[in-house]
Amino acid sequence: MSLARLLSTPVLGYLIVKGQYDWALGLFAASAVTDLLDGFIARTFDMKSVLGTILDPMADKALMATLTVSLGMAGVIPVPLAGLIIGRDVGLVISSFVIRYKSLPPPKTFARFWDFSLPSAEVRPTTISKINTALQLLFMGAALSATSIPLVTSLWATWHIPAQWVVATTTVWSGLSYVFSKDAVRYLQPPPEDGKRPSSNEHEQKS
């Protein structure tokens, strides 16, 4: 299901850019329902796979980035807000590369950098970043719905400005939370060279 959501995301972006808002809204709704169903099945039947734990957040990120860029391009959401949202994500990606490089035990080679069997650090979403994700998704959903559902169009005319400020605030706040929260980044203890298990599998260090 996550793979299907991932593959449908470029189609969603294309539909928005081409002004096919009804189809885009339908696809967005299908994607949201699939995501909920996916999570429900995984929790209820304890069916979590390694692939699923990678694909699911990847599909969420791709969806959010695609919605932001395409709605910005189509003039449905303000370009400065879209830039802020994408800018925070680009900042997080660059920071994660820096953290990976700093935390990777030597030798720091290109191959080892991308070898995910060598975990070296873990980034934990902060509370405000989870709230921000939910608000951004709600904002994108409302903005898209306002293009084709008359009731939402009139409500959105009143609320879109305050909604933009709320999302801009949580976007900046969540970006800063990764910088200033002590719990956001955890450096993992490097595995011992001789294959012995470490006495505790992780500890926190100051970067």
Contact flag: residue 70 with ligand G3P (CB under 6 A)? no
What minimum distance in Å lies between the beta carbon of 195 and ligand G3P? 33
The residue type at 203? H
What minimum distance in Å lies between the beta carbon of 116 and ligand G3P? 17
Nearer to ligand G3P, 7 or 93 (CB): 93
The residue type at 18? K
What minimum distance in Å lies between the beta carbon of 173 and ligand G3P? 11
Query: Which residue of 84, 152, 174, 185 would you call a contact of ligand G3P, by CB under 6 A?
Result: 174
**Residue ranges in 132-151 that form contacts with ligand G3P under rule CB under 6 A:** 133
What minimum distance in Å lies between the beta carbon of 54 and ligand G3P? 14
Contact flag: residue 130 with ligand G3P (CB under 6 A)? yes
Read out DSSP for the chain?
-HHHHHHHHHHHHHHHHTT-HHHHHHHHHHHHHHHHHHHHHHHHTT---HHHHHHHHHHHHHHHHHHHHHHHHTTSS-HHHHHHHHHHHHHHHHHHHHHHHHHSPSS--HHHHT-TTS--EEEPPPHHHHHHHHHHHHHHHHHHHHTT-HHHHHHHHHHHHHHHHHHHHHHHHHHHHHHH-TTSEEEBPPPPTT-PPPSSSB-----
Contact flag: residue 108 with ligand G3P (CB under 6 A)? no
Nearer to ligand G3P, 125 or 141 (CB): 125
Query: Which residue of 66, 68, 103, 129 would you call a contact of ligand G3P, by CB under 6 A?
Result: 129
What minimum distance in Å lies between the beta carbon of 129 and ligand G3P? 3
Contact flag: residue 125 with ligand G3P (CB under 6 A)? yes
What minimum distance in Å lies between the beta carbon of 174 and ligand G3P? 5
Residues that bind ligand G3P (CB under 6 A): 92, 125, 129-130, 133, 174
